[in-house]
Amino acid sequence: MKIHIVMHESFESPAAIEIWAKKKGFDITYTRQYVGDTFPEECNFDFLVVMGGPQSPATTLEECPHYDAKKEIAFIKKAIDQNKILLGACLGAQLIGEALGGKFGHSPNREIGVFPITLTEDGKQDPIIGTFPEKFLVGHWHGDMPGLTPESKILATSEGCPRQIVRYAPKIYGFQCHFEFTPEAIEGMIENNAHELEEYKNLPYIETAEQLRGHDYNEMNNLLFRFLDEVSK
């Protein structure tokens, strides 16, 4: 299997997703926008993973010169039209939603930390997510959430955000939450986003750097591996 990973910033890494792909021996290619990579002309891959970032689908080139949301959404649309498997994490989920006509929105609450998400009735019926526990811990670092389409289903919610996992099609999923966080990935997020921890420290769903470093990320990673195994079949 060939996997293509779109990265918006070095510190928003594929982390456990990359660990899984390497263990499987899959071919991995990247578009690293922060170093000026352009999107492939052809979708010569089976699985497209779109990572997160501090941007939003509405961020302009003036605000972030290395990030062209319109080009990225067009690239995602091309992958969808060619029936590729798609997974978006955080910003990636929002961009997939935009490519399908769903407009992203602001989450009712900003979340930074590790907090539980709960499966909806649609989530319990999902052939992959439905095999997960009804309630479990995952990582969070966001203020927005993906848009919905007439065909999409919300599979999981949290106290702070009503759209944590969205299925757009049988092989197209958006995770607003972060199953992929590892201790190394969290360290990169803390180093590059320390201002957010300070700015939002008095909000209800914001953990400290020490709390973020103290979590065990293995269980959410194991759930991610189960998901990736199934969606890639």
Q: What is the pLDDT of residues 14-62, one digit of tens each?
A: 999 999 999 999 999 999 999 999 999 999 999 999 999 999 999 999 9
For position 179, which CATH number holds? 3.40.50.880
Task: Find the farthest-apart pair of alpha carbons in the chain and give their distance in angstroms, rounded.
Answer: 46
pLDDT value at residue 39: 98
Q: What is the pLDDT of residues 135-153, one digit of tens each?
A: 999 999 999 999 999 999 9
Residue 125 Rama label (left phi>0; alpha psi -120 to 50; beta): alpha
User: Which tokens hold the place of 2?
Assistant: 């060939």
* Chain centre distance of CA 105: 15
* % the chain with pLDDT above 70: 100
Average pLDDT, the chain: 98
Could you tell me which residues come within 8 angstroms of residue 219 by beta carbon, excluding any fewer than 6 positions away?
Answer: 136, 137
> Taking residues 71-89, what's their average pLDDT?
98
* pTM recorded for the entire structure: 0.98
**How many domains in the chain?**
1
Q: Please count the CA atoms within 13 angstroms of the CA of 120 that sit on its side-chain side.
A: 15
Terminal C-alpha separation, the chain: 10
Cβ contact 122:82 at 8 Å: no
Domain span holding position 164? 2-231
Q: What is the pLDDT of residues 154-183, one digit of tens each?
A: 999 999 999 999 999 999 999 999 999 999
d(CA 155, CA 119): 6
Q: Are strands 153-157 and 105-119 parallel, antiparallel or unpaired?
A: antiparallel
